[in-house]
Amino acid sequence: MAAEDYEIDVRPEIMLMEQVLEPLMSGALRIPKFQRPFVWRPEQMLDLFDSIERGYPIGSLLIWETYEKLASLDRIGDLEVPEARPGLPVSYVLDGHQRLSTLFATLRRPVDAPRSTEQRDWMWWPYRVLGDADEGANRYRHWRSSNPPPANYLPVRSVLRTRDFLSYARDLARDASAEMDVDRLTSEGEVVAQRIKSYKLAVVRLVGGELKDAVEVFSRVNSTGQPMRPAQMVSALTYQAGGRESLADRLDGLLEQVADTGFGEVSADAVFRAVLAVTGEENVQEARWDVLARRVKDSVQEAVDDTEEALIRAVAFLRETVRVPLARLVPYDAQLMLLTTFFHGCPNPTPSQRHELTRWFWTTSWSGYFAGANSTQVKQDLIEMKKFARDGGKFSLIDERPRPFPDRFDLRSARVRAFIIWELAAFPQRLTVTGEQISAVDVLARGATSAYRHVVNKAGMAAASSPANRLIMPTPPRVSLKRALLNLPDSIRADVLASHGIPPLALQRLAVGNDEGFIETRRATLAEREAAFMANFGVYASPDAIGEADIDTT
């Protein structure tokens, strides 16, 4: 009977750990290729086992059982899995890839699997620390050293198989230090193993129907795991056996191409929505992905080709004209999507269009224009951007006002990101305490937000959170920024301060113990210079105003 001849059947089930992992070992349960790659951090893997041992829910797994053959991964985690047996139904994981990959590649790990100091090896070897008295803390650890772990480190791979657990118990008795109570540790290990083996996972099994029915169910269930990205939904729904690369594969390749330029990884969802816009879609934030997939099924692959060139042009515009050095600093995903749409419609803009596009970028960034933007607003912006690409003119931004200078440094705020973009361009070459010239962007690219260090560290002082209290300035080991600034040699002091936007008066106040005075003096200087930059685009701000750094980005 063909899949389309009957409706999909939804069957909630409760399964033990072995019952979930065994189909992965036999090839009867597979990860479809349209799923996102494994992206969990090592800490998330440890948290999963901590939750399991404590009996906490880890979210339901959603699988689809069908005779339809989908392209699927030949490795789960870093372990090879066999092909499905022909003629038998196969189950595909729609939700739960990250959790299942973690469980499978650790609990089913071969004893001779690679161990090294490389993350690709040690991340799959979690251990449960036996004898840890702190029951409130996560007692699972990774061992990153090339030396063997302590004897009381129970490898998670040993908990499901009795033979492997007994082998560990013998090693523990042989290698335990004098202060270790082997019997107590062994008993604790047995309890841990039993809790993991007896843990019950909630599984929602979808049987029959078509892929579009399965993904429609997925889009309606409340999932607590890593959600399937919109690109993956449409990739699944437009999938054709034996066809070209999936949409998700094409997008991943496009993202890597941009990252390789040194710009970093741009938002996958922003690029996906740009693809939809290039196909002619206007409701690019549509939640009904099954409906959307039917509309774009015949054009979405070709649109990726068109989007690729437009995205490269959009990134070049951001880097060279706006001077956004890194992808993570783009204030809003919608900006990248709309810029890509523009460069698809207008690959070679006039100087006046480039100036207006720059004004649009800065104004929407300073004003928080896309904070909480709904689908109706984004649709209207998309229409306006396409018109601008076609006809030129001006954007209707006359009512947009800049948010005040932010009260705290938080890169989840678009206003803070806009400030950082300006600040990096205004002070591109910083000087160290020895007068050595460094690139602020290079330091930021290596160290993310930790590159911006506090000058004043004082608990309870509200001003200490200000961006004016942050500098990109490496110092010798165990030398604070404050101490480094106060001990600058006379011969280079003025040049070092100027390279960081620090007025001499600010340093004078820091020297006499007026920490708040230092921060406020530098804030006023930075705010005044930023306001002057805003005025170049017809945007006017009060340098004296300070406002909350709204968290409005992901």
What is the percent of the chain where pLDDT is above 70? Answer: 88
Highest mean pLDDT among 124-133, 222-231, 493-502: 493-502
Q: Is the pLDDT of residue 235 over 80?
A: no
Residue 548: predicted pLDDT:
87
Arithmetic mean of pLDDT over the chain: 88
In 3D space, the residue among 344, 472, 322, 316 whose CA is nearest the CA of residue 409 turns out to be: 472
Rounded mean pLDDT of 341-353? 96
Q: Among positive and negative, which fits the CA dihedral 144, 148, 152, 155?
A: positive
Residues near 508 by beta carbon (within 8 Å), at least 6 away in sequence: none
pLDDT digits (tens, 9 = 90+) for 268-302: 888 888 988 888 888 887 645 555 566 666 666 78
Between 23-32, 267-276, 481-490, 506-515, the lowest mean confidence (pLDDT) is in 267-276
- 169 pLDDT above the threshold of 50: yes
For tokens 């070049």, what's the residue? Answer: 316
| Interatomic CA distance for residues 310 and 385, integer angstroms | 14
Across the range 80-100, mean pLDDT stands at 89
Answer for the pair 461, 364: CB distance below 8 angstroms, yes or no: no
329-333, 358-362, 477-481, 532-536: the lowest-pLDDT one: 477-481
Distance of CA 253 to the CA centre of its chain: 17
Burial per residue of 280-313, b for 16 or more beta-carbon CB atoms within 10 angstroms, e otherwise:
ebebbbbeebbebbeebeebbbebbebbbebbbb
Of the pLDDT bands very low, low, confident and very high (cuts 50, 70, 90), residue 372 is confident
Strand 90-95 relative to strand 29-30, pairing? parallel
- Under a CB-based contact definition with an 8 Å cutoff, are residues 277 and 286 in contact? no
pLDDT interval class at 32 (50, 70, 90) = confident
Query: Is the confidence at residue 407, as pLDDT, over 70?
Result: yes
pLDDT number for residue 289: 56
Q: Are 320 and 294 in contact (CB under 8 A)?
A: no
CA 505 distance to own-chain centroid: 40
Whether 67 has a pLDDT exceeding 90, the answer reads: no
Whole-model pTM over 0.85: no
- Binning pLDDT at 50, 70 and 90, where does residue 552 land? confident
What pLDDT does residue 98 have? 92
Across residues 123-127, what is the average pLDDT?
Answer: 96
Contacts for 307 with CB less than 8 Å, ≥ 6 apart: 254, 271, 274, 275, 278, 340, 344
Residues 6+ apart with CB under 8 A from 10: 204, 205, 206, 207, 217
User: Measured between alpha carbons, how far is residue 228 from residues 177, 218, 232, 372 in Å?
Assistant: 47, 9, 6, 21
Per-residue model confidence (pLDDT) at position 23: 94
User: What stretch of H or E contains 270?
Assistant: helix 268-278
3-state DSSP helix/strand/coil % of the chain, to nearest 5: 50, 10, 40
Closest to 184 in 3D by CA, of 194, 169, 199, 174: 169
Whole-angstrom distance, CA of residue 90 vs CA of residue 101: 18
pLDDT at 182 over 70: yes
pLDDT tens for each residue of 408-467: 999 899 999 999 999 999 998 899 999 999 998 888 887 655 689 999 988 778 899 999
**pLDDT the model gives residue 141:** 95
pLDDT band at 70 (very low <50, low <70, confident <90, very high): confident
Short-list 34, 31, 24, CA closest to 81: 24
Beta-strand relationship, 405-406 and 546-547:
parallel
Query: What HEC string does 349-388 produce?
Result: CCHHHHHHHHHHHHHHHHHCCCCCCCHHHHHHHHHHHHHH
Domain chopping of the chain, boundaries: 1-227, 247-391, 405-547
**Better-predicted residue by pLDDT, 220 or 495:** 495
Contact 30, 86 (CB under 8 A): no
The pLDDT value recorded for residue 3 is 42
Q: Beta-carbon neighbour count of residue 465 at 10 Å?
A: 17
pLDDT at 287: 47
Residues contacting 479, CB < 8 A, separation 6+: 433
What distance lies between CA 53 and its chain's CA centroid?
27
For residue 435, what pLDDT is reported?
93
What per-residue confidence (pLDDT) applies to 449? Answer: 52
Instruction: Please compute the mean of the pLDDT values over residues 33-49 and round it to a whole number.
Output: 87
Average pLDDT of the segment spanning 89-113: 93
Q: At residue 45, does pLDDT exceed 60?
A: yes
Question: Alpha-carbon distance 367 to 302, whole Å?
Answer: 36
511 pLDDT exceeds 70? yes
Cα–Cα distance between 334 and 378 in angstroms, integer? 8
Q: What confidence score (pLDDT) does residue 300 get?
A: 67
Burial of 446 (0-12, 13-18, 19+ CB in 10 A): exposed
- Number of Cβ within a 10 Å radius of residue 86: 7
How confident is the model at residue 222, as a pLDDT?
A: 43
Least confident segment among 110-124, 202-216, 429-443: 202-216
